[in-house]
Amino acid sequence: MKNIYFIGINGIGMSGLAKIMKCKGFEVSGGDLSRNYVTEELESLGIKVYPEHRGENVVGMDLVVASSAIKPGNPELEKAKELGIKVIKRGELLALLMNKEKGIAVAGTHGKTTTSSMLASVLLGIDPTIVVGGILPEIKSNAQGGSSDIFVAEADESDNSFLFLNPTWSIITNIEADHLENHGSLENIKKSFMQFMDQSKKEILVCIDSKNVREVIKGRNNIITYSLKDKNADIYCDNIEIENGLTEYDVYIRNDFVGRFILSIPGEHNIQNSLPVIYLGKELNIPLEDMKKAIFTFKGAKRRYDVLYDKEIKIIDDYAHHPTEIRATIQGAETIEERKIVAIFQPHRYSRVKFLMNEFEGAFDKVDEVILLPIYSAGERNEFNVTLEDLSKKIHHKNIKIMENNEDVENRVLNEGLKKVFLFMGAGSISNIAHEIVNKLEERKDINENFKVI
């Protein structure tokens, strides 16, 4: 096998695997309908990225890898089947790579990108293979091929592709209702996580601050628990102090003091995310001071409280799109931001808005203003009869506005945004809007460069 083609190659998970396979000496190419921030890196590695899906693109391929977003009828997918080319899912390829190594799979409804990225940062000294769902600043990529037998990756529960994996260690950050268009119910999601745990070879690190996690671990004996507040957990923290944008806390493993750590990224959820990282760092013999330094300098993966601009106006780009993620991101912002916070939210998928509608109530209560953008469909049809007006009423914020076009958002930020923090949130195209506004801010000549940043 020599030639591999990725359908939907610009997706964050697909692009990571494409890079790994290129590093392993395969000829790699792929197609996608839109360019994004990973496309240039793929091309710099010699990977051909086609700007549209055409059947002739897969001619001569030995293997085709299809993103979970690719539906039947895709011309590349159908041509591959017609030619008898083997087609596998992204999760199957990840499993083929990880299951041969000492894999660490990070699963959970939220937090898996930050947790896996932080873990990768802590383990960089032993040169692991890395495939994560965000751009890791330390390697300026979402993937690297390592020389050791340690393999760090996210485990995607959205389409059950994590059930291809047999990791040595696994981490479960939380379990909640999401991707119900695939799973149907929370009970089905729990069953999937239970099967995932059955397939883990060694220890399973779980956050028992999640009620659903506590329910699925009953009766298991290879569980390592961690918690933000429960001192009966195997791993817990104490003496949390937040000052000048830094979070300091003590970490204990089985009641033994490990050390005092400092996080530079906000939010109690990120303390939670660090706890299994510290445990595995110790298991893999990472020196304590190296761990402390890596956690302190960790700035988060791209699109996880990603500060794009911080002068007279502050622009933050964040992937949060589930109500729980939104609350956590806003809680973190509250701890470090002193200026008024404006949340600009692009809902993601009609199905998610429909299934999680009630959970959006109160999610934005702690910001000063909410701007609601049209729902990003991600290829879905609005068969769920949901509207922005419905969502706006459910959010029920005292200062909420619906803005139907990007120009209105740009005008709001550029003309009325002085001394405010704009928190762009969503999993769709909203990041492009934030970056475009930053470009215009940097081009402006009427800004007082001496404005005091607070």
Worst-scoring range by mean pLDDT, 110-124, 194-208, 325-339, 388-402?
A: 325-339
pLDDT in tens, 25-77: 999 999 998 887 789 899 999 999 999 999 999 999 999 999 888 889 999 99
Average confidence score pLDDT of the chain: 92
- What pLDDT, in 10s, does the model give residues 266-299? 888 999 999 999 999 999 999 999 999 999 999 8
Rounded to whole angstroms, how far apart are CA atoms 62 and 388?
45
pLDDT band at 182 (very low <50, low <70, confident <90, very high): confident
pLDDT of residue 180: 74
pLDDT at 362 over 60: yes
Contact 169, 280 (CB under 8 A): yes
Which residues carry out catalysis? 112-113, 154
CATH 3.90.190.20 boundaries in the chain: 306-443
DSSP E strand boundaries for 90-168: 102-107, 129-136, 141-144, 150-154
CA 101/CA 97 separation, integer angstroms: 7
pLDDT at 445: 56
CATH 3.30.70.260, domain 3-89, yes or no: no
pLDDT (0 to 100) of residue 398: 92
Q: Would you call 432 helix, strand, or coil by DSSP?
A: helix
Mark the binding-site residues for ATP, compressed into ranges: 108-114
Q: Which fold has domain 99-297?
A: UDP-N-acetylmuramoyl-L-alanine:D-glutamate ligase (3.40.1190)
Q: Where in the chain is the domain with CATH 3.40.1190.10?
A: 99-297
Q: d(Cα 103, Cα 97) in Å, to the nearest integer?
A: 9
* Percentage above 90 pLDDT, the chain: 75
The residue-averaged pLDDT of 144-151 equals 94
pLDDT at 97 over 80: yes
DSSP 345: E
Name 434's bridge partners: none
The model's pTM is: 0.83
Q: How confident is the model at residue 302 (pLDDT cuts 50, 70, 90)?
A: confident
**Cα four-point dihedral sign 192, 183, 11, 318:** negative
Q: Which residue has the tokens 């002085």?
A: 418
Question: What's the pLDDT score for residue 69?
Answer: 80
Q: Give the per-residue pLDDT at 137.
A: 85
Q: What CATH class is the domain 306-443?
A: alpha beta
Which whole number is the average pLDDT over 123-133?
95
Return the sign of the alpha-carbon dihedral for residues 150, 226, 297, 13: positive
Q: With a cut of 50, say whether residue 454 has pLDDT above it.
A: no
423 to each of 270, 309, 407, how far by Cα in Å?
A: 18, 11, 17
Least confident stretch, 145-149, 164-168, 310-314, 450-454? 450-454
Domain with CATH 3.40.50.720 in the chain: 3-89
d(CA 306, CA 299): 8
Give the pLDDT band (50/70/90) at residue 16.
Answer: very high
